[in-house]
Amino acid sequence: MEIQENHQQESSWETESMGSRSTRVGFSGPMSGPLVTNKTRNSSKKSARFKDEEELVEITLDVHDDSVSVQNIRGGDSETALLATRLEKRPSFGVRLRQVSQELKRMTSSKKFDRVDRAKSGAARALKGLKFMAVKNVGAEGWVQVENRFDELAVDDKLPKTRFGQCIGMQESRDFAGELFDALARRRGITSASITKQQLREFWEQITDQSFDSRLQTFFDMVDKNADGRITGEEVQEIIALSATANKLSKIQERAEEYAALIMEELDPDNLGFIELYNLEMLLLQAPAQSTHITTDSRVLSQMLSQKLVPTKEYNPIKRGFKALAYFVEDNWKRIWVIALWLSICIALFTWKFIQYKHRAVFHVMGYCVTTAKGAAETLKFNMALILLPVCRNTITWLRSKTKLGMAVPFDDNINFHKVIAFGIAIGVGLHAISHLACDFPRLLHATDSEYEPMKPFFGDERPNNYWWFVKGTEGWTGIVIVVLMAIAFTLAQPWFRRNRLNLPKALKKLTGFNAFWYSHHLFVIVYALFIVHGYYLYLSKKWYKKTTWMYVAIPVIIYACERLLRVFRSGYKSVKILKVAVYPGNVLALHVSKPQGFKYSSGQYIFVNCSDVSPFQWHPFSITSAPGDDYVSVHIRTLGDWTSQLKAVFAKACQPSSVDQSGLLRADMLQGNNIPRMPKLMIDGPYGAPAQDYKNYEVILLVGLGIGATPLISILKDVLNNIKQQKDIEEDVESGVTNNKRKPFATNRAYFYWVTREQGSFEWFKGVMDEVAEYDKDKVIELHNYCTSVYEEGDARSALITMLQSLHHAKNGVDIVSGTRVKTHFAKPNWRSVFKHAAVKHPGKTIGVFYCGAPGLVGELKRLSLDFSRKTNTRFDFHKENF
């Protein structure tokens, strides 16, 4: 390979730097080409490109008077990167360049270049950053959309500055778009507050320019308000406040002056009072600090990048359908056999009664109406008995914890099964009521005397003369009341009413919400009493042993009654002492209470909480956030409904504003003993089993929490952390000669925690846990990932300064500016496929427990990825989601 020095100024691939200190140059040509050098007195940048068929390798050098540094490597493999670093050694540049060119010739003659991970390069990161527009909006199609919006928003053929953000698709960041408008206008000497379509086109071409230099200059212009080529501390403070506002980071906005001083300290070590363009570029090119407990094994990363999970296309619709059915059965066989058994019993009972009444004399008068009514009544008896069992929480907790039935019975779906049975009851009630009221009774009223003759033993010697006769009887009014009460309970249990999603008038809105759901659901006591009465006073059955309603419901009612009595006894016994109260941003109330004597629980379980000051009857479930090894029990409650809002208001009265060294907005710490306020009485009941408690069955766990859904997962993290501490104590005891250890082995030896939240203030909820993990987990058992979705993704110009500031502050102080913990926060939403790929590559052949708690919107994607990776890799993912 030949390398020749050539002082050409222009080339089709050459990009000029916008600063005055350096210029980029490059090599071109198939396997060889000229070296183009543009030098100033201080430095120059040299870029070499080598092309082999479809592969291109580019090395960019930053050449100063007495040193040469590699700025970027594009293409090639790890050997290429190692070779390029030889350019930075002390011999003269010409000698080094010849050495490297010889090595490159040897390498390119033996094999094609493989692409390397450019993410490891500071320049590569910078090239991906400072994007004012998403890639999908760049190009001719993007401009067409902007042009159409201009035509809609323009006033007198000019676009006002106030509508600029909406026009370019940045309507959610109007302030940022306004500053961008000013920067672009200053560059062109535009002083008007409105622009023409041609000027908008120029603006658009600049902000969609994919070259990093252009984007850097645009960003610099935004900060440089007076266009003097220098950025002062005040200007940095303004852009920090603007970026914090655009990303909804109020705490950063409050400390904008402090963070501006940090940037000036870093970029202006000589205290000149300003920074220039090249200073900002240096900051962007700095390598990012690693997030807490993230390994960077190059072999693993290369495997991750090369691993492909492309689904194979099956063109035969029959085979495709059969494969989909096979997958469905494999994933849902527990649910399938339970539902199949339930349906089979319902169908069998309906058919039995249907055939039985078809052979009775009443059939000749009432026909299929009576057979349908009686068949539906039989399924009603069965379902009214069965629906109580899924809500017997103590029984289910015991069965899932003490027996092996969980291998075949999906206990996690108890509430879903409860809803399915309720749907079956609704169908049964409909068939039974309609068949009687709209069919049986009218036909009996219109029967002839000869037809009525066989009915006398059941309805009396005199035929009923009107419809009211049937309604006023015990059989009639009890049935109608049951239907009305069931309709009320069923309606208020729907999510639209239970979660107040409907925009109802204020008077009606008071009749909805969780309180309405809770009280209406407890009408079941009246319903069951009337149901037994209704089943005893029957028109067509007079013998006691044929009145089977009470036989169906007796045992389930007794079991459920015992459950409630146990709850009352246990909750009275477990009246707890409140140790600490904290009110956090995001309407979250944290309660730390004393642990009752004999109270044992597992991480992932939940308890019911009752506060008599709010309601003496209502009990609400909340996940336990403390670990079994803690000497207290804690819950974190987000105020989403009427009961939780009242609970927060009651406890907030007893709190005081927190001090500087404390987290939260309001706090009350009973352990300090100073001015102890009167606290409301609190009772707890539990613990009860939940899907997350099964984490101990897995060596590797993947925990995913959305917002307040992180609560059961925090308990798991603390339990794993406590195990780490205990393990260290055991090792110290062994070293000192003490070997008496009866503790059960802890199966979980690797945990990945992903917490996604919209608000910066949410990180205060579990700040202590995050810092504790970072401090004690020296072996990196726990890998923490926090995501703040209010911040624009990394690479977006609106979050660029936040990213720079985050790296600087974390490198200097070890604290993340977003979360306030040692764990660096990621921006925007996680790429869940990459998350699963990372786990699959790190743990081949393992079974990973995936535990999710949060909004239902993410359930489908996580479940699909768990199944997809389980089928196409040798790592199995068992998915569990939290239900209340």
Q: What is the DSSP letter of 624?
A: B
Measured between alpha carbons, how far apart are the two ends of the chain, in Å?
Answer: 69
Task: Tell me: cis bond preceding 317? Omega within 30 of 0 counts.
Answer: no
Least confident range of 25-39, 102-116, 385-399, 831-845: 25-39
Residue 300 sits at the vertex; the CA angle it makes with 298 and 305, to the nearest 5 degrees, is: 90
Q: What is the pLDDT of residue 76?
A: 55
Q: What is the pLDDT of residue 746?
A: 67
Q: What is the pLDDT of residue 673?
A: 53
Q: What is the DSSP letter of 437?
A: I
Distance CA 36, CA 191 (A): 40
**What backbone phi and psi angles, to 5 degrees, belong to 278?**
-65, -30
Least confident range of 131-145, 623-637, 785-799, 846-860: 131-145
Q: What is the pLDDT of residue 485?
A: 93
Average pLDDT over residues 341-364: 91
Residue 847's SS3 state is strand
Length of the chain: 884
Residue whose tokens read 């540094």: 69
Element (H, E) at 68: strand 68-74
Q: What is the pLDDT of residue 137?
A: 54
Closest by CA to 48, choosing from 17, 87, 89, is: 87
743 pLDDT band (50/70/90 cuts)?
A: low
DSSP bridge partners of 714: none
Number of Cα atoms under 13 Å in the Cβ half of residue 198: 2
Instruction: Please report, rounded to a whole number, the percentage of residues in the chain having pLDDT higher than 70.
Output: 75
Q: What is the pLDDT of residue 536?
A: 84
Question: Residue 522 CB: number of other CB atoms within 10 A?
Answer: 13
Distance, CA of 537 to chain centre: 53
99 pLDDT band (50/70/90 cuts)?
A: low
Q: Encoding tokens for residue 736?
A: 């000192």
Average pLDDT over residues 535-546: 77
CB 588 within 8 A of CB 665: no
Number of Cα atoms under 13 Å in the Cβ half of residue 733: 11
Q: Each residue of 155-197: pLDDT tens digit?
A: 888 898 888 888 888 877 888 888 889 888 988 888 888 899 8
Which position has the higher pLDDT, 337 or 540? 337
9 pLDDT band (50/70/90 cuts)?
A: very low
667 pLDDT band (50/70/90 cuts)?
A: low
Closest by CA to 176, choosing from 806, 759, 804, 797, is: 797
Closest by CA to 825, choosing from 764, 748, 751, is: 764
Question: Residue 301 CB: number of other CB atoms within 10 A?
Answer: 16
594 pLDDT band (50/70/90 cuts)?
A: confident
CB 674 within 8 A of CB 666: no
Q: Each residue of 54-74: pLDDT tens digit?
A: 445 566 666 555 555 555 555
Q: For the purposes of burial, counting CB atoms within 10 Å of the CB of 567, is it exposed (0-12), middle (13-18) or buried (19 or more)?
A: middle
pLDDT at 762 over 50: yes
Distance CA 386, CA 421 (A): 8
CB 703 within 8 A of CB 718: no
CB 70 within 8 A of CB 63: no
Average pLDDT over residues 222-248: 84
Residue 254's SS3 state is helix
Alpha helices in 745-858 (DSSP H): 767-776, 797-813, 832-842
Distance CA 415, CA 601 (A): 21
CB 722 within 8 A of CB 776: no
Q: What is the pLDDT of residue 61?
A: 63
Average pLDDT over residues 117-138: 52
Distance CA 396, CA 389 (A): 9
293 pLDDT band (50/70/90 cuts)?
A: very low
pLDDT at 333 over 60: yes
Q: What is the pLDDT of residue 75?
A: 56
pLDDT at 295 over 80: no
Residues 183/186/187/188 CA torsion (nearest 10 deg)? 130
290 pLDDT band (50/70/90 cuts)?
A: very low
Distance CA 415, CA 390 (A): 6
Q: What is the DSSP letter of 792?
A: P
Average pLDDT over residues 293-314: 49
**What backbone phi and psi angles, to 5 degrees, belong to 25?**
-135, 170
Average pLDDT, the chain: 76
Distance CA 63, CA 74 (A): 18
418 pLDDT band (50/70/90 cuts)?
A: very high
Amino acid identity at 600: K
Q: For the purposes of burial, counting CB atoms within 10 Å of the CB of 298, is it exposed (0-12), middle (13-18) or buried (19 or more)?
A: exposed
Amino acid identity at 238: E
Tell me the whole-structure pTM to 2 decimals. Answer: 0.70
Q: In three state form, how does the secondary structure of 820-846 look? A: CCCCCEEECCCCHHHHHHHHHHHCCCC
Distance CA 87, CA 825 (A): 36
CB 625 within 8 A of CB 582: no
**What backbone phi and psi angles, to 5 degrees, belong to 579?**
-100, -40
Distance CA 761, CA 819 (A): 8
Categorise residue 673: left if φ over 0, alpha if ψ from -120 to 50, beta otherwise: left
Q: For the purposes of burial, counting CB atoms within 10 Å of the CB of 391, is it exposed (0-12), middle (13-18) or buried (19 or more)?
A: middle
Which position has the higher pLDDT, 144 or 302? 144
Residue whose tokens read 């543009």: 38
Q: What is the pLDDT of residue 130?
A: 66
Q: Give me the DSSP letters along 518-534.
A: HHHHTTHHHHHHHHHHH
pLDDT at 124 over 50: no
Q: What is the pLDDT of residue 401?
A: 78
pLDDT at 19 over 50: no
Whole-angstrom CA distances from 810 to 79, 269, 594, 805 are 32, 19, 37, 8
Q: Encoding tokens for residue 11?
A: 């080339």
Q: Which of 281-285, 287-291, 606-610, 719-723 reaches the highest mean pLDDT?
A: 606-610
Residue 496's SS3 state is helix
Q: Each residue of 476-505: pLDDT tens digit?
A: 899 999 999 999 999 888 888 877 777 777
Closest by CA to 77, choosing from 55, 93, 61, 62, is: 55
pLDDT at 36 over 70: no
Distance, CA of 824 to chain centre: 18
Which position has the higher pLDDT, 149 or 460? 149
Residue 596 sits at the vertex; the CA angle it makes with 595 and 597, to the nearest 5 degrees, is: 115
572 pLDDT band (50/70/90 cuts)?
A: low
Q: What is the pLDDT of residue 487?
A: 92
Strands 782-788 and 656-657: unpaired
Q: What is the pLDDT of residue 425?
A: 94
pLDDT at 423 over 90: yes
Amino acid identity at 667: R
pLDDT at 340 over 90: yes
304 pLDDT band (50/70/90 cuts)?
A: very low
Least confident range of 32-46, 98-112, 251-265: 32-46
Q: Which residues does 874 contact at the CB level (< 8 Å), separation at least 6?
A: 844, 845
Distance CA 807, CA 575 (A): 48
Average pLDDT over residues 542-564: 87
Residue whose tokens read 């044929």: 546
Closest by CA to 26, choosing from 8, 45, 7, 47, is: 47
